[in-house]
Amino acid sequence: MARYPDGFDVEGPVQAEVFVVWLAGDHLELTGPCGPAPWLLQVGPAEHPVEIVTRIVRDVIGEPLLVHSTSWRRDREAVILSFVVVIDRALVGSMASLPVGRSELARGEATAAPREIATAQVVEHGLRHMAWLAKDDPVVAAELPAGWRECLAGYVPEPFRNLG
């Protein structure tokens, strides 16, 4: 039987961790059905992670503007794929939301992952990844709502990487 001593929890060898981000005036905020907390999805062996995240976000919140996997790490006895999902402010509705704070990145060694990675560090890297895409990927640049580029300007661009 699955491990459920503390109640229902996402499990499986591959999990998606979704950070739903929207532009609240002049700053970015985290929201979602779990509020600003990471939203975990199970990814089955025959499922494509991007398709799963897009479908579930569409069903639960509404049509996302952008869905991008921004990092991966080993945690929760699984490989965790982190996604930044950009939504329009009109979809936030009554979902709890909090401004995105800044954080130092988790840095590993030359051939080893960081020993600890905080959620805020995953989000920081995700938004640095989006800053990189905003400059490098014409599709992302075109889809980002007005005002996003200004908010991302403060993030040092970084491509996809292993966080742990």
Partner 1 sequence: MADETITVRCACGWETTGPEDDVVAATVEHGRRMHNMTPTRDEVLAMAVATPDHQDSPAR
Which residues contact partner 1 by CB under 8 A? 1-2, 4-12, 33-35, 37, 39-44, 47, 52, 56, 59-60
The 8-class DSSP code of residue 80 comes to E
CA distance 54 to 17: 12
Least distance CB 51 / partner 1 (angstroms): 11
For the CA atoms of 152, 78, 14, 41, the dihedral, rounded to the nearest 10 degrees, stands at: -70
Closer residue to partner 1, CB minimum distance, 60 or 98: 60
Closer residue to partner 1, CB minimum distance, 42 or 103: 42
Closer residue to partner 1, CB minimum distance, 33 or 114: 33
Q: Which two tokens stand for residue 138?
A: 């014409």
Q: Which two tokens stand for residue 19?
A: 């950070």
Least distance CB 62 / partner 1 (angstroms): 14
Least distance CB 54 / partner 1 (angstroms): 12
The answer to whether the CB of 26 falls within 8 A of the CB of 148 is no
Closer residue to partner 1, CB minimum distance, 44 or 101: 44
For the CA atoms of 133, 138, 143, 146, the dihedral, rounded to the nearest 10 degrees, stands at: 80
Least distance CB 136 / partner 1 (angstroms): 30
Q: Which two tokens stand for residue 126?
A: 């995700």
